[in-house]
Amino acid sequence: MKVARLHGLGDVRLHEEPAPVAVDGESLVRVTAVGLCGSDLHWFGEGGIGDAQLSEPLVLGHEMAGVVEGGPSHGRRVAIDPAWPCGHCEDCLRGHRNLCRAVRFAGHGRNDGGLRELMAWPDHLLHPVPDSISDADTAMLEPLGVALHAHDLARPRAAETVAVIGCGPIGLCLVQLARATGAATVIAVEPLEHRRAAAAAMGADVVLDPGAGSGSSHVTAQVTAQVTAAIADATGGRGVDVAFEVAGNDHAVALAVEAAAPGGQVILAGIPGEDTTSFPASVARRKGLTLKLSRRMQEMYPRTIRLVDRGLVDVRSVVTHTFALDDVAEAFATADARTGLKVVVSPSA
């Protein structure tokens, strides 16, 4: 079978390898779609995330869809949950499977992910999907689950105000979730013009550019003040009840803190390039803000399947590019350039 492995910075190579063999409790799955995530780009461009660094060639990809090959479920289309927690530690038993320290996560560390034609994976992590959800849509259930977990952490009430700072695929899912759950005003902040347009199309009431249209990560104090003023104007001077930071840089974190109303919440869902995050402590303290950090997701697939199947969240519009596995290097280059939204690779095309 064909496999794409990351060997070093920007170095993804195709290999021919033996097909895996499913053991008891597992199924062989033919992988049909894999979304390239921002965390995959950290591995691709930086060689790791935080203290998890590339030590041997790794198969990336954790946003996965497939079809079961063989066995009693042969032919069943499934979403593949990439997180395989131990199930018996205190964190797992308390319902925090996303915090399990013994978790095996596809495409991370030494655990191969989905950029291959076939993979063997535990049956209980394979979620059947209806035919109304395409293969690419199915791969998007994982980033939708990450967004839904962040949304759950905030527990926003109906008719509250929400800001989403960073409108990549997860941010766009958060815009839709805020709209679907009754937010009075949804504000999207994003430096890239095509992502701002997508946020507006997906329900944002106010769309703001934090970087004067440049797409640069450098944001001046003047621009931050202008964006903060625009958010204040849109919320009657108070600020937002919940600010979701999904950009992964300190400018976005600072803007989330500035945008939040007194007593509000800031949910940090972005992954920073450096293993540090900072924010204006005096502002956060004087406002009495609650800051929460979001880690992957809990048991979200049944809910994300229902959200997409019932048309409450549109993930199809988030997918802008699709590549065959043979073109995986071009797929990574496209995703890294951020010229579109979600890039999907089809290993079994």
pLDDT value, residue 349:
67
pLDDT value, residue 219:
56
Please give the average pLDDT of every successive group of 10 residues along the chain, which has 349 residues. Answer: 95 96 96 95 89 92 97 96 95 93 93 97 97 97 97 95 97 97 96 96 96 52 84 94 95 94 97 85 95 93 97 96 97 94 93
> CB burial class (10 A; 0-12, 13-18, 19+) of residue 184?
middle
Let me know if the fold of 2-140+315-346 is the same as that of 147-293: no
| CATH of span 147-293 | 3.40.50.720
Q: Could you tell me the two tokens for 114?
A: 């989905």
| SS3 category, 55 | coil
pLDDT value, residue 297:
92
What are the boundaries of each domain within the chain? 2-140+315-346, 147-293
Q: At what angle do helices 141-154 and 169-180 cross, to 10 degrees?
A: 50
Q: What is the DSSP letter of 156?
A: P
Q: What is the 3-state secondary structure (H, E, C) of 59-114?
A: CCCCEEEEEEECCCCCCCEEEECCEECCCCCHHHHCCCHHHCCCCEECCECCECCC
pLDDT value, residue 274:
79
Tell me the CATH number of domain 2-140+315-346, given options 3.90.226.10, 3.90.180.10, 3.30.450.20, 3.40.47.10.
3.90.180.10
Between CA 21 and CA 187 the distance in angstroms is 48
Taking the whole predicted model, whether its pTM rises above 0.85 is answered as yes
